Structure 1
Amino acid sequence: MGVTKKILVTGANKGIGLAVCEALLESYSETFVFLGCRNTDLGNRAIKTILEKNPECENRIALIEIDVTDDTSVQVAADRIRKYNASSGPNLFGIVNNAGIARSDSGPDEVLEVNTMGPKRVIDHFFEILQPDDGRVVNVTSASGPNYLSRCDRMTREILTSESVSWNQIREICSDYVRKYNNAPARVKTQLIDDVYGFSKACTNALTMVQARLYPNLKINACTPGFIETDMTRPMAARHGRTPAEMGMKSANEGTYSSIFLLTEKSVGSGFYFGSDCLRSPMDRYRSPGDPEYKGQ
């Protein structure tokens, strides 16, 4: 079978992003993967790692330099893929917005730029080269988003779970968070830094609903990969004096299931958030894997 589905994965030089690229190449022979990352040296090493295990995939993977916090970088990446499509068949089938960071010493701005503004920026620039019917977008978020909303103030929770939420509302809530941080005493700043990851993922879940309304012919969903051992989560285990396994972290490969499901499942809807077990989950409270699927109540 020839290549019929081209898929971009951001933040793909390691961890879950790299594992998604490997899973697509190994299990879906119709796919071509654009491995997206900021650093081309790291990206080339990642591709070398993949091809050492799967040399037959050499003609089904390419490196795309992309910094999701930079409009110019994202536009250049989109232009490069547009040119590739012009010479090699179908448009981009899917995007996995996987790039993310847990925290930044500089404050909440950088976390929000990567985790929330990044997926918005990518779709804004890539929409025109996505397949117009049944193209897929997966925003990789986290159960930290629903956990954050389950304990935040009522107004934030209501806005970020409203099916009619607008991008302007999301952007203003993000700006309010940054202003609160900038004006806060040290103790409160520490808490806001601890919370910004979950807050950013809650905002990206809300963004997913906005994008699904804007692009009704696409299937755009968010998902948590689960509690996965990555460079982002290992420090958490270290702070608790435990190993990742003792913390219950799973492998990067296990973190691919929900993203792959949303890329490949024919009957999936749009504008929803899914758990690591590939079942729809609420955006404002945690649903454990294995619990009944959320029906929108």
Structure 2
Amino acid sequence: MDMRRILVTGANKGIGFAIVQAILEEHDDTFVYLGSRDAARGQAARMALKPEWQARADVVALDVSEDQSVARAAEQVARSLGNEKLYAIVNNAGIGTGAGASLTKVLQTNTVGMHRVCERFLPLLDPVNGRIVNVTSASGPSFVARCSTAMQRFFLDTQATWPRLQSFIDECIAMDGDKPAFAAKGLDDGEAYGLSKALANTYTVLLAREHPALRINACTPGFIETDMTRRYAESQGKSPAEVGMKPPSAGARTPMHLLFGTLEGNGHYYGSDAQRSPLDRYRSPGSPPYTGA
């Protein structure tokens, strides 16, 4: 049986691990490279899979915020592939602003990290049937909605280039902590997480334009209970379920659709209900799908 080989970053827990489980459970012809910043935690996650799935999973030490780590991971996967190609890349790894994470760290992980992975792993991807799924967040469109008209045009620019995005990221890092500077730039308060996810969505659009033969899309997994979001419930003295969070398995729904479903078009952003959504405003799950460009 020919195996569809898939890399999932940030795969040792939360939504990433739920995606790995869903892939292996629903598709017998798949093999997953379980990307984990910490190899030991990655091995623990692999051993937590059903025994019959473990032979179809391998751990790859992969810290998306470090160039050398991503390069070593790509070399490991290339050796494993031999003459085969990856079927898909799932860019799931990401961090929030908890535990004092700086804007620099958030951007280097959530946006630049996604670019690092794509640059290193694109040569390993099937040039005909390959797919890239960028797990972003509804915080991205919500952030864009709070920006000035000029900055909204920036995030929605279908002709954006990575050098231009990198220059903008450098500019934002230079303003780190200076809320008045962000406001003057038309970027609201410069909230790091939303900004990083808005940029990740813009990167998805430009990547799809540069690689039209592939299927490259972004999505929000929804309001999911993870280590990152659990603090929000705890700060209110409530359980995750009480504030509306869903389990990680629910967060795998749209990534799985983008991995294996029939898709129209390319370079789109999808809501947690697996329906197309706009990049400049929040769309509630269950509402009519977005049909714009």
What TM-score do the two structures reach when normalised by structure 1?
A: 0.92
For 1:212-238, what per-residue CA distance to the aligned partner results, in whole angstroms no more than 9, with x for missing partners? 111111111000000000001000111
The match for 1:28 is: 27
Once the two structures are TM-superposed, the CA of residue 289 in structure 1 deviates from its matched residue by 0.5
Once the two structures are TM-superposed, the CA of residue 106 in structure 1 deviates from its matched residue by 4.9
Amino acid at match of 2:52: E
**Separation in structure 2 between the aligned mates of residue 3 and residue 253 of structure 1, nearest angstrom:** 27
Residue number among 102, 111, 119 corresponding to 2:106 in the alignment: 111
Q: Contact conserved, 1:34 with 1:61, CA < 8 A, in 2?
A: yes
Q: Contact conserved, 1:219 with 1:268, CA < 8 A, in 2?
A: no
For 1:52-110, what per-residue CA distance to the aligned partner results, in whole angstroms no more than 9, with x for missing partners? xx211122000011111111111111111111111xx6310001100000116252000
**Separation in structure 2 between the aligned mates of residue 67 and residue 192 of structure 1, nearest angstrom:** 28
Secondary structure of the residue aligned to 1:253 is helix
- Mapping for residues 92-241 of structure 1, pairs under 5 Å: 92-103=86-97, 105-183=100-178, 192=189, 195-241=191-237
For 1:183-242, what per-residue CA distance to the aligned partner results, in whole angstroms no more than 9, with x for missing partners? 558xx9xx957x110110000000001111111111110000000000010001111222
**Taking every aligned residue pair, what percent have the same amino acid on both sides?**
43
Structure 1 residue ranges without an equivalent (≥5): none
Once the two structures are TM-superposed, the CA of residue 166 in structure 1 deviates from its matched residue by 1.8
**Separation in structure 2 between the aligned mates of residue 231 and residue 106 of structure 1, nearest angstrom:** 14
Amino acid at match of 2:93: A
Secondary structure of the residue aligned to 2:88 is strand
Amino acid at match of 2:107: L
- Mapping for residues 228-267 of structure 1, pairs under 5 Å: 228-267=224-263
Once the two structures are TM-superposed, the CA of residue 170 in structure 1 deviates from its matched residue by 1.8
For 1:18-43, what per-residue CA distance to the aligned partner results, in whole angstroms no more than 9, with x for missing partners? 00001111111010000001101111
**Separation in structure 2 between the aligned mates of residue 153 and residue 107 of structure 1, nearest angstrom:** 24
Could you list the runs of 4 or more consecutive aligned residues of structure 1 that deviate by over 3 angstroms after TM superposition? 182-185
Q: Contact conserved, 1:156 with 1:173, CA < 8 A, in 2?
A: no
Q: Contact conserved, 2:103 with 2:173, CA < 8 A, in 1?
A: yes
**Separation in structure 2 between the aligned mates of residue 201 and residue 106 of structure 1, nearest angstrom:** 15
In structure 2, do the counterparts of structure 1 residues 266 and 4 end up closer, same or farther at CA, with 3 Å as the change threshold? farther
Once the two structures are TM-superposed, the CA of residue 150 in structure 1 deviates from its matched residue by 0.6
Secondary structure of the residue aligned to 1:246 is helix
Instruction: Using the TM superposition, name which of 172-181 and 20-29 deviates more.
Output: 172-181
Q: Contact conserved, 2:47 with 2:54, CA < 8 A, in 1?
A: no
What TM-score do the two structures reach when normalised by structure 2?
A: 0.93
In structure 2, do the counterparts of structure 1 residues 3 and 253 end up closer, same or farther at CA, with 3 Å as the change threshold? farther
**Separation in structure 2 between the aligned mates of residue 125 and residue 176 of structure 1, nearest angstrom:** 25
Once the two structures are TM-superposed, the CA of residue 182 in structure 1 deviates from its matched residue by 5.0
Structure 2 residue ranges without an equivalent (≥5): none
Q: Contact conserved, 2:277 with 2:290, CA < 8 A, in 1?
A: yes
**Separation in structure 1 between the aligned mates of residue 195 and residue 47 of structure 2, nearest angstrom:** 35
Q: Contact conserved, 2:36 with 2:42, CA < 8 A, in 1?
A: yes
For 1:226-276, what per-residue CA distance to the aligned partner results, in whole angstroms no more than 9, with x for missing partners? 000000100011112221111100010000000000000133421110000
